[in-house]
A and B are shown apart, each in its own frame.
Chain A
Amino acid sequence: MITREDVEHVAELARLELTAAEKEQFIAQLNDILTYFEKLNELDTSDVEPTSQVIPMSNVFRDDAVQPSLDRTKVLQNAPEESHFFFKVPRIIEE
């Protein structure tokens, strides 16, 4: 079902650098779990609306009013690396 390539592709999408051992383990465990999910195919849901939200609400808004922003010291206080009041990250290669 789920192959090593699938696991590698998904890990890439999720930005997880898996070790070889993790990959092996995930292939087995994910296959188990995905097999279990096949249960759902017993159900004919062709006429069923998907539920993304259990409470039937719509149109929750806020007014277009400016609120004070967070003090910059607090903004940057948890930053792993900070410089010149920016968040510093490794150089972005793509434009």
Chain B
Amino acid sequence: MDYEVVIGLEVHAQLSTHSKIFCGCSTTFGAPPNTQTCPVCLGMPGVLPVLNRRVVECAIKTALACHGEVAPRCRFARKNYFYPDMPKNYQISQYDEPLVVGGHIEIPTPEGMKRIRLVRIHLEEDVGKSIHGENLDDPRASYVDFNRSGVPLMEIVSQPDLSSPDEAKLYLQRLRTIVQYLEVCDGNMEEGSFRCDANVSLRPRGAREYGTKVEIKNLNSFRNVQHALEYEVIRQTKALDAGEKLLQETRLWDTTRSVTRSMRSKEFAHDYRYFPEPDLVPLATTREWVEAIRRTLPELPDTRMQRLVAEYSIPAYDAGVLTSSKALADYYEACIKRYPKPKVVSNWMMVELLRALNRDGIEVEQSRIAPENLAELLELVDDGTISSTMAKTVFDAMYETGKAAAEIVQEKELRQISDENALVTAIEQVLANNPKEVSEFRAGREKLLSFFMGQVMKATQGKANPQAVNKLLRQKLAEKET
């Protein structure tokens, strides 16, 4: 049976404010246990929350970047349940009056831009962290650290508009790009500042009703998200094909065994008994405030991505990669300004530059090749100064040393040899050294041409102009034996 995959994602993004959402404790990651806590985030008797204004601003920025509607008035609510990492045994969150409703994110699929709609964005406080006993000391215990309790979270819920694990990964990457662009979240999945839960169901293609929804948790990297979803799609397909009924449940992605497994059946019923948080007053967002924040926003990543496609006619996918950081997008446009061949530049950046940056784990701002330098390199190829194959060598040298292309070509004497006399000499030398291959070629083994090419390139330290060599080789080989 042909099934349609339906995926919705819930992302919890930790906001990168200096202090927590309801108290002044620091939010820095990695501090020793229970050193960034106070009576408020510990839920001691008698304490009260006070809302960090910057947290609201971060959420408003995100709403604007995702074209969501900022509610003129919203409230916080208590979500009541018991868990050791929840100091108050309720989480201050938002329920029926969230800060943001609706919105959408464009994702650059191979088929073009696809719009993924959002349900809502709301604010809440993070909970503490627990370590299982066996990882620390007593295996019959757990150990709780409240440093993370009270760190501000933004929960972003998508509609089930994602149709494949690949799209899910693209969505996450795009969302992460947006929050990083806005500097509201550092998007670090491994450190837990960007977390994802997925809801996935299948339905027969063309059906209108949704299938049984399964929630997947513990997805702590992009790769895991993709693998977990791929696994789950297969699992659900098999089950449905076999006529089994799927359980609406929560499953965990097991990274060691690469499977999703059912969470132990819930011992505790989850009735969250939401009610408006009486210790906080309502949040009113005026148009003036929202507009003032809008004015501080840079060109949004989505807008820039679409503009690159429109202005430069590059594929959506390329535009997506090039706008994955503001610095990278700036680099691209600076380069094109001097060397206006968008697709060529985009190829070089995506293949050579990003490869080197990723290998070294650095950002484009830290690279030694300035956009103008890349432009110059490409000009040298265009005007025949160096061959396109030599360009890669020059590029690597530029990356290592920071020197300009022309300087490197000069220093290392990498100028392309296009002079026919010089080339003919080299060619004749090669043919003379390989009589057997020459006979075979003349006898019909055309493929040996690349062998001769290689030899000529070797003899000229790669500097021979490949097109010219090709032409002259053929000529020489066609000449009758003298």
In the complex they form, whether A and B have CB atoms below 8 Å apart is answered with yes
Contact A53 B281, beta carbon cutoff 8 Å = yes
Q: Tell me whether B38 is interfacial, beta carbon within 8 Å.
A: yes
Tell me the A66-89 residues at the B interface (CB within 8 Å): 66-70, 72, 75-76, 83-89
How far apart are the CA atoms of A15 and B36 in the complex, in Å? 29
Q: Tell me whether A65 is interfacial, beta carbon within 8 Å.
A: yes
Q: Tell me whether A47 is interfacial, beta carbon within 8 Å.
A: no
| Contacting residues, chain B, for A93 (C-beta < 8 A) | 264, 267
| Contacting residues, chain A, for B252 (C-beta < 8 A) | 95
Contact B33 A85, beta carbon cutoff 8 Å = yes
How far apart are the CA atoms of A58 and B281 in the complex, in Å? 5
| Contacting residues, chain B, for A66 (C-beta < 8 A) | 18-19, 24-26
B390 to chain A, nearest CB (A): 53
Q: B145 touches which one: A64, A86, A91, A94 (CB < 8 A)?
A: A86
| Contacting residues, chain B, for A92 (C-beta < 8 A) | 83-84, 130, 132, 142
Tell me the A1-38 residues at the B interface (CB within 8 Å): 9, 12-13, 15
Contact A84 B33, beta carbon cutoff 8 Å = yes
| Contacting residues, chain A, for B284 (C-beta < 8 A) | 58-59
Q: Tell me whether A60 is interfacial, beta carbon within 8 Å.
A: yes
Q: Tell me whether B173 is interfacial, beta carbon within 8 Å.
A: no
Tell me the B105-151 residues at the A interface (CB within 8 Å): 130-133, 136-146
Q: Contacts A84-B143, A86-B143, A94-B264; is A65 near B19 (CB within 8 Å)?
A: yes
Q: Contacts A13-B269, A59-B281, A65-B19; is A83 near B50 (CB within 8 Å)?
A: no
Number of A-B contacts (CB under 8 A): 138
| Contacting residues, chain B, for A60 (C-beta < 8 A) | 50-51, 280-281
Contact B264 A58, beta carbon cutoff 8 Å = no
A79 to chain B, nearest CB (A): 9
Contact B32 A85, beta carbon cutoff 8 Å = yes
Contact B34 A85, beta carbon cutoff 8 Å = yes
B467 to chain A, nearest CB (A): 61
Closest B residue to A90 by beta carbon equals B141
B82 to chain A, nearest CB (A): 5
Chain B: interface residue total (CB-CB under 8 A): 61
Q: Tell me whether A62 is interfacial, beta carbon within 8 Å.
A: yes
Closest B residue to A89 by beta carbon equals B84
| Contacting residues, chain B, for A53 (C-beta < 8 A) | 278, 281-282
- B1-34 vs A, Cβ < 8 Å mask (1 yes, 0 no): 0000000000000000111000111100000111
Which secondary structure dominates chain B's binding surface? Answer: loop
Contact B141 A88, beta carbon cutoff 8 Å = yes
Q: Contacts A58-B284, A65-B24; is A75 near B42 (CB within 8 Å)?
A: yes
How far apart are the CA atoms of A75 and B146 in the complex, in Å? 10
| Contacting residues, chain B, for A84 (C-beta < 8 A) | 33, 136-137, 143
Contact A52 B278, beta carbon cutoff 8 Å = yes
Q: B52 touches which one: A13, A62, A68, A75 (CB < 8 A)?
A: A62
Contact B136 A91, beta carbon cutoff 8 Å = no
Q: Contacts A53-B278, A62-B53, A70-B39; is A88 near B263 (CB within 8 Å)?
A: no
Q: A64 touches which one: B54, B84, B263 (CB < 8 A)?
A: B54
Q: Tell me whether B37 is interfacial, beta carbon within 8 Å.
A: yes
Contact A67 B19, beta carbon cutoff 8 Å = yes
Closest A residue to B83 by beta carbon equals A92
| Contacting residues, chain B, for A89 (C-beta < 8 A) | 84, 130, 141-144
Q: Tell me whether B273 is interfacial, beta carbon within 8 Å.
A: yes
Q: Tell me whether A44 is interfacial, beta carbon within 8 Å.
A: no
Contact A69 B36, beta carbon cutoff 8 Å = yes
Q: Tell me whether B218 is interfacial, beta carbon within 8 Å.
A: yes
| Contacting residues, chain B, for A9 (C-beta < 8 A) | 269
Kindly list the 10 A-B residue pairs having the minimum CB-CB distance in the complex, ordered from nearest: A67-B24, A86-B143, A64-B54, A61-B53, A87-B144, A92-B142, A52-B276, A58-B284, A57-B281, A70-B38
Q: List 16 A-B contacts (CB under 8 A).
A: A52-B276, A58-B281, A59-B284, A60-B51, A61-B52, A62-B50, A63-B52, A65-B19, A83-B137, A83-B141, A87-B146, A89-B130, A91-B140, A94-B266, A94-B267, A95-B252
List residues of chain B with CB under 8 Å of any chain A CB: 17-19, 23-26, 32-39, 42, 50-56, 73, 75, 82-84, 130-133, 136-146, 217-218, 252, 263-264, 266-269, 271, 273, 276, 278, 280-284
List residues of chain A with CB under 8 Å of any chain B CB: 9, 12-13, 15, 52-53, 57-70, 72, 75-76, 83-95
- Given A53-B282, A87-B144, 12 extra CB contacts under 8 A: A64-B18, A64-B19, A66-B19, A67-B19, A72-B35, A85-B32, A88-B138, A89-B130, A90-B141, A92-B130, A94-B266, A95-B263
